[in-house]
Amino acid sequence: MTRHFLRDDDVTPVEQARILDEAARLKGERFAARPLEGPRSVALVFDKPTLRTQLSFSAGVSELGGYPVVVDGSMAQIGVRESIPDCARVLGRQVAAIVWRTFDQSRIEEMARYAGVPVVNALTDQFHPCQILADLLTITEHRGRLAGLTAAYVGDAANNMAHSYLLGFATAGMHLRVGGPNVAQADPEVVRRAHEIAATTGGSITLTDDPRAAVDAAQVVITDTWVSMGQEGESATRKGSDSPFAPYAVDADLLSYAADDAIVLHCLPAYRGFEISAEVIDGPASVVFDEAENRLHAQKALLAFLLEQS
């Protein structure tokens, strides 16, 4: 059976732990796994802007012995010039795996149904599961474990990062508090699924509109941009002086409510002075650039896992 990674709960808790263990090993031994030796090719398709994702997947595929084929989504126009099923069949006959950054989650699910090779979600409007694997690896490096830790995600609770934190952290057995304004709360179906997973892993999920309650004594504090890709038209409202997100900015005052040794994550790009202050992202609690590096190692481990399982 072909295995895909379209959302965070496409792997079990045991499989997630196995991928993270392999990611840690590959961080120490960069070329220890060569499942794409040949080289076999991997299609990297980007319908949205990218820096870290394109770089980390390109380098990762090369380090696994393969060849990354970067496809400009604006040229390919998947689902416009050709149907998604036809594109999936064409890609699947020529490459070992497909990595796709696109819009609605339904597009990548349709790709996976017809591709015949592993399909990886490199970001959709609903989920960003590869980023969560990198975050979990980073937390493990700095805290030594995942299960039982308390993490707080504050800001836009309705975006793809919030949804992936809900599923991915519940899978890891963590206690996640999500703090966001009432106008931007997580998809109830994702919240229901996160509660379901947490009930089996010993984790927990808490939703609140109080940023201080979310961060209180948390060992991990996380935020993300208030203007996700595709929402640029709302930038003035979301970043304005009366923005509903303003109380959720991770600055020195809000961070003072967290545990004394709390670490701070941000998936980047970061907008200093809005969702996070320069003092925090450049300060001693920040592990943001470890997090960015770990995209490479986590995604290599993920690709190796999917290729082995398929």
Q: Do 209 and 140 share a structural domain?
A: yes
Whether 103 and 164 map to the same domain: the answer is: no
Active-site position among 135, 156, 209, 224: 224
Based on the domain organization, do 278 and 139 belong to the same domain? yes
Residue 54 a catalytic site member: no
Q: Is the pLDDT of residue 140 over 90?
A: yes
Q: Does residue 131 carry a catalytic annotation?
A: yes
Alpha-carbon distance values, 93 to 4, 38, 86, 96, 264 (Å): 16, 16, 11, 8, 42
Q: Which of 52, 267, 297, 299 is flagged as catalytic?
A: 267
Instruction: Establish whether 163 is a catalytic residue.
Output: no
Q: Looking at residues 110-123, what average pLDDT do you find?
A: 98
54-94 pLDDT tens trace: 999 999 999 999 999 999 999 999 999 999 999 999 999 99
Dump pLDDT digits (tens) for 206-247: 999 999 999 999 999 999 999 877 777 777 777 777 899 999
Q: How many domains does the chain have?
A: 2
**Is residue 209 a contact partner of residue 177, using CB atoms and an 8 Å limit?**
no
Whether residue 119 is found in the same domain as residue 223: no
* pLDDT, position 191: 98
Assess whether 135 and 274 both reside in one domain: yes
Q: Are residues 59 and 181 in the same domain?
A: no
Is residue 295 part of the annotated active site? The answer reads yes
With bands split at pLDDT 50, 70 and 90, how would you rate the model's confidence at 274?
very high
Give this prediction's pTM: 0.97
Query: Are 273 and 143 part of one and the same domain?
Result: yes
Strand ranges in 16-66 using DSSP code E only, listed in sequence order: 41-46
Identify whether residues 140 and 254 lie together within a single domain: yes
Residues 271 and 135 in one domain: yes
From 307, 304, 300, 249, select the one nearest 274 (Cα to Cα).
249
Mean pLDDT of 36-51: 96
- Single-letter amino acid code for the residue at 2: T
Looking up tokens 């295995």 gives: 3
- CATH code of the domain containing 140: 3.40.50.1370
pLDDT at 239: 78
Asked if residue 244 and residue 229 are part of one domain, the reply reads: yes
Which range of residues forms the domain containing residue 59? 4-128+295-309
Q: Are residues 108 and 250 in the same domain?
A: no
Residues 121 and 201 in one domain: no
Computed over every residue of the chain, the mean pLDDT equals 96
